[in-house]
Structure 1
Amino acid sequence: MSLGPFQPSAALSLGVELELQLVNTNDYDLAPYADDMLRLMAKHKLPGSVVPEMTSSMIEISTDVCQSASDVLAQLTPLRDALVQSADKLNIAVTGGGTHPFQMWHEQRIYDKPRFRELEDLYGYLSKQFTIFGQHVHIGCPDADSALLMLHRMSRYIPHCIALSASSPFVQGQDTAFDSARLNSVFAFPLSGRAPFVLHWSEFENFFDKMTRTGVVKSMKDFYWDIRPKPEYGTIEIRVFDTPLTVERAAALAGYVQSLAHWFLEDQPFTPHEDDYLVYTYNRFQACRFGLDAVYVDPVTGEHMALRDHIQFTMGQIERHAQAVGATQSIQLLKNDVSRNHNDARWLRTRQSQEQLLAEVVRLSSRHFRGAGA
């Protein structure tokens, strides 16, 4: 199967996908209501799309092509409101978060769609363990080579994306001691991890052809990389974010990524190297395990520093670029949280400490998702 040409797209355009949890309002466990939600959502005139996900207690919303974080929020907000309205009619609730705190994977049902059935046949129980919830951010790139350069530059900032979005501390009723336990489920898949280090599209096409000849890969969807090129959209897709607890935070994270991308395109601040990846897995693990308290190892100097310090330093570097793409408010929201060592994982743990009941934590997070006007 051919990779296909890298389609033109507007440089720095944005697209956001959010995988969300459907929970009942009795004990706040996951509820298999995706079909009913899709039927009700189809009655609303909305931007973007609403589609099923791997198991029937999940639903995914996506924006159309956006130009800024405020544009992302302007599209996610009516999608969120329609979801909440539809859920209320079904007496269920919708919530963010990278994992459901106490669902049991073996109780989940694979959504009846040919691709999901194929994945179940291939991956067995891992397909049900993939009842995890992420945010994906697409960034438009001016051409194919620029996309690969941006992908490998962005890899240095993957720990930022993980720590700022982390919202999966609980799995099957237990505090995992990770801020983002969700990514441990992704790592189990054989084609997860990171993209090969090539900086020219012709080399990437050659890699893709070799992989398809093995029969292991049929399309780009078979790669579960942290960042992958999406030639049919003309973007790179960053996939490490846990689904935030609010659409406001989801939009802010998109603004942060767009600001980084503007910096890369405008200033060409550094050339990535294969050796960047010597510390990649360590940095990624640190961010998953400790969130903002992680250690970050600079891939060039080998210097060890607090991840929160590296994030704050980077936010200072990209301040002008955030202003250029209209993301100043996004950066400020995230910067405030970093300064007080706060992310959604901390929010969830605080609620659990106060309530001592994970079902109540889910109820409160579903209220949090509804927004200030709930």
Structure 2
Amino acid sequence: MQQDFTIGIEEEYLLVDRDSLALAPAPDAFMQACRAELQDQVAPEFLQCQIEIGTKVCTTTADAREELKRLRAAISRHSAAHNLAPIAVSCHPFSDWRDQAFTEKDRYDTLERELESVARRMLICGMHVHAGVDAEAMRIDLMPQLSYFLPHLLALSTSSPFWSGRDTGLASYRLSVFDNMPRTGLPPAFDSWDQYQRTAGTLIDLGVIEDTSKIWWDLRPSDQYPTLETRICDVQPRLEDSVALAGLVQSLVRMLLRLHGSNLRWREYDRFLIAENRWRAQRYGVAEGLIDFGERRIRPVEELLDELISLLAEDAEALGALDDVARLRDLAREGTSATRQRAVFSAAPEGAGGEAVVRHLIEEFHDGL
């Protein structure tokens, strides 16, 4: 394998008022201060109560950790100057999407005009992990193999059980909102890079989309970088969980490329079957298991993760990510952010659960900074 196994992480955060704990729009002065310090590593999002950060290209999870610490600390510091606090969660526990203001930007104006209410409900935040894959043809070849693991990534990352003040019963309600958008969900399988370009090019030539950044599959070749971009994960309240998930993506890509170098590959399953696991992850997180298609039975996520870590231990160790990936066993065993949020909500006095969850999320955002 003659390539560098780089990673990059993009995270979207929500901004809350420190007193009411409800969502609050970012003042212009806040964005200007963030831009002055972080330059192009920070950007406004679709709604004014959101902000997006992106790490530099990282070689190791240790690099990614330091990048996220620096970026999260800067966002927190500039937020505090405006009585705001950032939270890294995919849905706010009680604020309503109808009350939020939009960011004035040509791209977002177009999105709202084209998608109407579907776009206006996009009060959600995700985490995207870019894994470097140098060859265009290889990105296409790896997509259907890596797709098998997308439900596993979702199950381990679930952080959005609440929507507009109600427990949805889902571990990732974010995905229910996002799936209303066009060009989302599991990616199709393509025979070649040329076929992918021709397919996407049809919509570009017709003026339906301006470029492939408007294709929002759970996994896609990046429009800007020589990477495969996983977009399935809920954003993580705790920085260390973000790093662990990024390490898993990086290790999976290395494992699949290692198999390719031995003239082997991960078995490809029909999108119909993978979609069923995707739903199980969306609904239950790590609580009810995923389908092992090889064994034709439902197995606990903790058991599947142990097996997966054994398969890619060689790769994670070579990348210096083994300890970080191993941390995911805690999520599989103890539950994800969705589990923790529900526990905090249940323990709070009646009528105060939503505020208690936001305080909990503020604490987790700052843990380790």
TM-score, scaled relative to structure 2? 0.93
Q: Is the 8 A contact 2:186 2:275 kept in 1?
A: no
Q: Is the 8 A contact 1:16 1:72 kept in 2?
A: yes
Q: Is 2:265 the counterpart of 1:270? A: yes
Distance apart, 1:304 and its partner CA: 3.0
TM-score, scaled relative to structure 1? 0.92
Identify which of 353, 356, 360 aligns with 2:356.
360
CA distance in 2, matches of 1:136, 1:39: 24
Distance apart, 1:307 and its partner CA: 3.0
Q: Is the 8 A contact 2:302 2:329 kept in 1?
A: no
Identify which of 283, 292, 296 aligns with 1:298.
292
Letter in 2 for 1:21: L
Letter in 2 for 1:319: A
> Which of 296-305 and 87-96 deviates more?
296-305
Per-residue CA distance 1:11-35 (angstroms, 9 max, x = gap): 4211100000100012111100153
Partner residue in 2 for 1:320: 314
Partner residue in 1 for 2:33: 40
CA distance in 2, matches of 1:301, 1:293: 19
CA distance in 1, matches of 2:345, 2:128: 27
CA RMSD of aligned residues (A): 1.8
Q: Is the 8 A contact 1:277 1:299 kept in 2?
A: no
Partner residue in 1 for 2:324: 330
CA distance in 1, matches of 2:296, 2:107: 43
Runs of 4+ in 1 over 6 A off after TM superposition: none
CA distance in 2, matches of 1:76, 1:47: 15
Q: Is the 8 A contact 2:237 2:365 kept in 1?
A: yes
Structure 2 stretches lacking a partner, 5+ long:
none
Identify which of 199, 203, 209 aligns with 1:207.
199
Identify which of 95, 102, 106 aligns with 1:114.
106
Letter in 2 for 1:141: V
Letter in 1 for 2:367: G
Identify which of 214, 219, 235 aligns with 2:211.
219
> Which of 285-294 and 230-239 deviates more?
230-239
CA distance in 1, matches of 2:95, 2:133: 39
Name the count of aligned residue pairs.
Answer: 362
Distance 1:240 1:367, change over 3 A: same
Partner residue in 2 for 1:307: 301
Distance 1:237 1:12, change over 3 A: same
Distance 1:150 1:131, change over 3 A: same
CA distance in 2, matches of 1:372, 1:234: 31
CA distance in 1, matches of 2:201, 2:210: 10
Structure 1 stretches lacking a partner, 5+ long:
1-8
Distance 1:125 1:76, change over 3 A: same
Distance 1:280 1:112, change over 3 A: same
Q: Is the 8 A contact 1:21 1:96 kept in 2?
A: yes
CA distance in 2, matches of 1:177, 1:97: 17
Partner residue in 2 for 1:348: 341
Superposition pairs of residues 1-374 of structure 1, within 5 angstroms: 11-33=4-26, 35-44=28-37, 46=38, 49-268=41-260, 269-273=264-268, 275-300=269-294, 302-338=296-332, 340-356=333-349, 357-372=353-368
Letter in 1 for 2:336: N
Q: Is the 8 A contact 1:48 1:75 kept in 2?
A: no
Give 3-state SS (helix, strand or coil) of 2:51's partner.
strand
Distance apart, 1:140 and its partner CA: 0.7
Q: Is the 8 A contact 1:12 1:139 kept in 2?
A: yes
CA distance in 2, matches of 1:271, 1:206: 26
Q: Is the 8 A contact 1:34 1:57 kept in 2?
A: no
